[in-house]
Structure 1
Amino acid sequence: MGEGQVSKAVLIAGPTASGKSALALELALSAGGVVINADSMQVYRDLRVITARPTRDDEAQVPHRLYGHVDAAVNFSAGAWLADAAVELTEARAQGRLPIFIGGTGLYFKALTSGLSTVPPVPPEVREGVRARLEQGGVEALHAELVRRDPAAAGRLNVRDRTRIARALEVVEATGRSLLDWHREGQPPLLPKDSFSALFLAPDRDELYARIDARFDAMLGAGALQEVEQLAARDLDPLVPAMKAHGVPVLIRHLRGEISLDEAAEIGRADTRHYAKRQFTWFRHQLPEFEWVKPEQARGWLAAAVRAAREHD
């Protein structure tokens, strides 16, 4: 594909274990593309196996970007990802490569196509103070504090959601304004309407759940437990996102001797199935611009998308 010939990007979303990575690789090989990660857990360097990142062989075949480029200690955000994605999009277009964004994180795709609110950085001392109160008083007390200081934000959150309650409280404490106010003022989308083709890969549920179960077992066979053991040895803040990746908390419980490996695997498979169900619901309601496509129809759909992407400006 020659320089200047790419006028659109291709977005491939879908639930975990739906076959997105193989599809993106095939498309990149055939269309001269670059695969850009849009999965919030595959960004972490420490989590190759447990997040089913593309293999090193796959990465050697075509350019793969934003995989494993963040340390697990970092509380990486959608805004940070969007800034990185902007750099990769510019580079792909400069090289005449088809940008292929692929992943299962709805918030990343929402930021890409609808923009994102711009919340000022929270000073470390504010964040540490909120987290200290969380550890000392518990999540209920922290939620009660949020109800007093930002009732609108508190009303939208589950009273047990430690991460989001802490985040909302950090923002109001640091800025004097509700997180909801910041969300109403944002930055424009990186990919505005009509600049992309978007596919949501939607396999049959029973088939998908069987794939999830098989893949979790395969990850254990490929060294997932050892990977999680190395992560646990770092003694990171349990609230950082990498420590909550699917499979990580339950395998840490096994490593501590609390449950057997079989029990951990069963819980891990069930958690991942529940996550896939939430992905279906989120994309259906939040990203209607994605076209839902069955796996057997995906290649034909992508061929049409590439023809659109190759249109001259």
Structure 2
Amino acid sequence: MSETKNQPPVICLMGPTASGKTALAMALHDNLPCDIISVDSALVYRDMDIGTAKPTQDELDKYPHRLINIRDAAQTYSAADFCHDALQEIAEIRAKNRIPLLVGGTMMYYKSLIDGISPLPEANAEVRKEIEAVASEKGWSYVHEMLAKVDPVSAQRIHQNDPQRLTRAMEVYRLTGNTLTQLTQIKGASVEGDVLQFAITPKERSTLHGRIELRFNQMIEQGFEHEVKALKERDDLHEDLPSIRCVGYRQMWQYLHGECSHDEMVFRGICATRQLAKRQLTWLRSWPNLTWLDMEDETNLQQVVSTVSNL
């Protein structure tokens, strides 16, 4: 345990989708006095189990995960929300003299927690409706032009066909009078004490691609289509919501809407998942203070346990 902070360390187990993070986390739970905190923007949603590769109920009973099933699919959950919740969970776990074990692949959540989140306002439904009304009348390219006038840095970074991020950037400006660029330069609370950061990644990208394809096909066999049908029958969900934009869900939603064939949906879903993994690996390559783990190495558990024991 950390002598400088006199509290248990925080373990961060990162990696691309389908790299085996959950299995390693469960093994760590069996070998260390740790409690698992999910770092996944899709696992926060209830009734989205198969397509998110959420641990089974039996697994969750044996290995409880905090910050899973905490939002309805119609709701949003931001990096700021995660940072607030995770800091609270970490404090509670450390108060019991146990180790917080953060596991997942949403890299922005990790960055917010480790570096500190900017003081951004919460989402405002009324302001969002106003922005969406403008977009409905004049198009998202017009909203992008509006953003470029007040926050050219964000406008350069955000594509004009990205309604979610365009809405957020304009919403922040309308609510605060400050731009997203200005506010993200201000850092808030972050995790304190020893933070051990591990990344489990493949030696060969093809190995990960094979796992991704296998897992997506298994999801289809497990009833992923039925899961998304149930979501689509709700009148409060649509394709632009963060939940439905999750990898796999968007492609299945489009198939159920008649926009593509079943085979095309499977192909698109696998491709989208591979693209997600590529983005995650890009984040990790520039991440400081990482200990790299090979996802096919049988000594990963011992490496993490040894690192914790040597503190």
Shorter-chain TM-score: what band?
over 0.9
The 3-state SS of whatever aligns with 1:185 is coil
Shift of residue 237, structure 1, vs aligned partner: 4.1
User: Residue in 2 aligned with 1:128?
Assistant: 129
Q: How many pairs align? A: 304
User: Residue in 2 aligned with 1:181?
Assistant: 182
Shift of residue 141, structure 1, vs aligned partner: 1.2
Shift of residue 275, structure 1, vs aligned partner: 0.9
Question: Can you give the 5+ residue segments of structure 2 that lack an aligned partner in the other structure?
Answer: none
User: Residue in 2 aligned with 1:197?
Assistant: 196
Shift of residue 300, structure 1, vs aligned partner: 2.9
Mean Cα displacement is larger for which, 271-280 or 298-307? 298-307
User: Residue in 1 aligned with 2:163?
Assistant: 162
Residues 1:40 and 2:31 aligned together: no
Shift of residue 6, structure 1, vs aligned partner: 5.3
Residue pair 1:122, 1:174 contacting (<8 A) in 2 also: no
User: Residue in 1 aligned with 2:233?
Assistant: 233
Shift of residue 17, structure 1, vs aligned partner: 0.3
User: Residue in 1 aligned with 2:10?
Assistant: 9
User: Residue in 2 aligned with 1:244?
Assistant: 245
The 3-state SS of whatever aligns with 2:215 is helix
Partner Cα distance (1:158, 1:304) in 2: 44
Partner Cα distance (1:12, 1:65) in 2: 15
Shift of residue 46, structure 1, vs aligned partner: 2.2
Superposition pairs of residues 1-313 of structure 1, within 5 angstroms: 7-191=8-192, 195-203=194-202, 204-235=204-235, 236-285=237-286, 287-295=287-295, 296=297, 297-308=299-310
Partner Cα distance (2:7, 2:30) in 1: 15
Which amino acid is 2:8 matched to? S
Give identity over the alignment, percent: 35
The 3-state SS of whatever aligns with 1:241 is coil
Shift of residue 11, structure 1, vs aligned partner: 0.7
Which amino acid is 1:277 matched to? K
1:223-277 Cα shifts (integer Å, max 9, x gaps):
2111111111123143321010111111112212332222111110011011101
1:34-74 Cα shifts (integer Å, max 9, x gaps):
11000111111121110001111211113221111111111
Distance 1:191 1:5, change over 3 A: closer
The 3-state SS of whatever aligns with 2:158 is coil
Question: Can you give the 5+ residue segments of structure 1 that lack an aligned partner in the other structure?
Answer: none
Residue pair 2:38, 2:66 contacting (<8 A) in 1 also: yes
Which amino acid is 2:40 matched to? D
Partner Cα distance (1:27, 1:7) in 2: 15
Partner Cα distance (1:202, 1:255) in 2: 33
The 3-state SS of whatever aligns with 2:100 is strand
Residue pair 1:48, 1:68 contacting (<8 A) in 2 also: no
Normalised by the length of structure 2, the TM-score is 0.92
Which amino acid is 2:213 matched to? D
Normalised by the length of structure 1, the TM-score is 0.92
Partner Cα distance (1:163, 1:67) in 2: 22
